[in-house]
Every structure is written in C-alpha cells, then in structure tokens.
Amino acid sequence: MLLHIDASKHAWFGDGRYYDLITLLDDATSEIYYAPLVEEEGTRTLMPAVREVIEQQGIFCALYRDRASHFFVTPKAGGKVDETQVTQWGRALQELGIKMIPAYSPQARGRMERSYRTWQGRLPQELGRRKITRVEEANRFLRQQYREEFNRRFAVAAQGKGSAFVRTRRKDLGWVFSIQHERRVNPDNTIALDNRTQQIEKTRWRNTLAGCNIRVYELMDGTVAVRFGPHEVARWAPGSLPAPQSQVRSGARPLGHHRQAA
C-alpha cells in the first residue's frame, strides 16, 4: 500500500497569510487521511501526520515524497538521494518497516498536484463562507467536517476488497516519531545539549553513566528525554531547558523548539 505525503503553501484565508496544508493521500483511492494547516512543512509538522494515520488506520507499505532535505539526503541538487544516509524521517520509517520512495519528476507527483489545485479552489471559499480566519478554527473544521466531505466527493473505490493497512499494537510511536541525538556521557555524569551542560542524576541501578552512549529524544510535544538502552534516565518538560547563552544572544530557538529538523 502506497501513501503520498506533501504540503501546499497557499493564502488559504485569502488575506495574504500563507500556510502549508499537509495531506496524506491514498494512492489507490485518493482518500485523504490527514489534512491540517501548519506554519511550515518540516520534520516536526510532518511526523505527527504519519503517526496519526498509523494510529488510526495501521502500518502501510511505502510513502512517496519529494526529495526535501527533511526526507532525504541529496548530495547534489536535483540528483539522486543517498540511500546510505538517513534523516530523522528515514530512521523513523525504517523502524516501522515503511519504505520511502523519492519523486524524481513533476509528472510523478501529478496526483498530489491535481489534488492541491482542487483544495486551493475550494477550501478558501469554504473558510470564507464560514468566516473562519484562525488556523485553530480551520483545523477543527478540516478534521470534523471538510475532510470527510472532500473524500466523499473526490475519493474513488479501490479495485480490491479489504484494507491493506496492518493494525499495530506498538506503544512506542511517541519515541519513534521524535528527533533523536546520540551523546556520550561526560566523566561528571553530564551531557552536552546545544551548548548547555545538563546533569544526569544517579539511578538506583547505577551511580554513573560516565563514558556511556545515550540517546536524547526531542518528543513532538516539546519534552526532552534521555534514555540509556530501555531505561529513561532524564526528562525535561516542554520549555524547561534554559536557552544556551549563544542562542539567547542571537535569538535562536533552543533544543526542543526548532520548527524543523533535517
């Protein structure tokens, strides 16, 4: 089973404000499984899309996408992707056994382009008719009403019977769909996070993790957690990590607050 994922930047409210509409489309039926407006397409806005579809529908076989840097590593602009290097996206889908297929021509993405022309022609009118001007209101309308109406009008019946989705019992999708970093614990049981030094507290089963390799997870809700194997050894609530001095001076966002990640 093949799904397409893409985003269309457009002035959906007709007032000069541009947002990306992210959609996941079924290659066999053109059914839309996910369709919110976000400020910008990127790892942090696309990961929740696939996670939601998996939770509601199940695991699918492959995901078709352009060669944006958050999906693929492409050493030469316009060239082939380097399949030996994986992005955060590639790593997440590998864990789930989902294949990523890169698009190499505009014609190959024709179905998504046609779908977005329909969205751009209809959605602004629907939002205007209902006097919806805020993203939160628009996404509530899309989720509760318009996506179902869109599918009723434009989706087609599959040639075969049954569903190609495979239901999953996995409870770790929050960890899978996260931004992950490898770190080595310092001799004083600290780790470096974006030019900060964060203390790892002693555990009941080990006094120090000095010299050990751990993994830092930036979860999609802004939480930052640290795991050593299956053990969680540290966790910080969204926004609780202090900004490093270099980012305070430059106004950049600290770890856990980036809008995108490759």
Could you tell me the CATH number of the domain that includes residue 144?
3.30.420.10
Question: Given this model, what pLDDT does residue 258 score?
Answer: 42
Is 255 domain-assigned? no
Residues 106, 227, single domain; the answer is no
- Residue 137 makes CB contacts below 8 A (sequence gap 6+) with none
Q: For 143-153, what is the mean pLDDT? A: 95
Q: How confident is the model at residue 173 (pLDDT cuts 50, 70, 90)?
A: very high
Q: Tell me the per-residue pLDDT of 2-45, one tens digit each, with 9 for 90 and over.
A: 899 989 999 999 999 999 999 999 988 999 999 999 999 999 99
Last residue of a domain, one of 154, 170, 188: 154
Residues 137, 54, single domain; the answer is yes
Residues 214, 117, single domain; the answer is no
Q: Is 60 exceeded by the pLDDT of residue 255?
A: no
Residues 11, 105, single domain; the answer is yes
Question: Given this model, what pLDDT does residue 246 score?
Answer: 53
Is 169 domain-assigned? no
Is 256 domain-assigned? no
Residues 49, 88, single domain; the answer is yes
Q: Is 50 exceeded by the pLDDT of residue 260?
A: no
Is 214 domain-assigned? yes
Number of domains in the chain: 2
- Residue 130 makes CB contacts below 8 A (sequence gap 6+) with 141
Question: Given this model, what pLDDT does residue 158 score?
Answer: 75
Q: How confident is the model at residue 235 (pLDDT cuts 50, 70, 90)?
A: very high
Question: Given this model, what pLDDT does residue 189 score?
Answer: 94
Last residue of a domain, one of 154, 186, 213: 154
Token pair for 225 = 């957690």
Residues 82, 130, single domain; the answer is yes
The Cα–Cα gap between 225 and 26 comes to 34
Q: Is the model more confident about 26 or about 110? A: 26
Is 261 domain-assigned? no
Is 125 domain-assigned? yes
Is 259 domain-assigned? no
Q: Is the model more confident about 205 or about 189? A: 189
Question: Given this model, what pLDDT does residue 250 score?
Answer: 43
Residues 189, 144, single domain; the answer is no
The Cα–Cα gap between 66 and 44 comes to 17
Residues 78, 194, single domain; the answer is no
Q: For 225-229, what is the mean pLDDT? A: 95
Residues 116, 6, single domain; the answer is yes
Residues 82, 186, single domain; the answer is no
Where in the sequence is the domain holding 193, given as residue range(s)? 178-250
Question: Given this model, what pLDDT does residue 262 score?
Answer: 38
Is 171 domain-assigned? no
Q: How confident is the model at residue 239 (pLDDT cuts 50, 70, 90)?
A: confident
Q: Which of 177, 190, 183, 185 is nearest to 221 (CA)?
A: 177
Question: Given this model, what pLDDT does residue 157 score?
Answer: 83
Q: How far is CA 158 from CA 27, 31, 53, 164, in A?
A: 10, 10, 18, 11
Give the rounded percent of residues in the chain with a pLDDT score beyond 90.
61
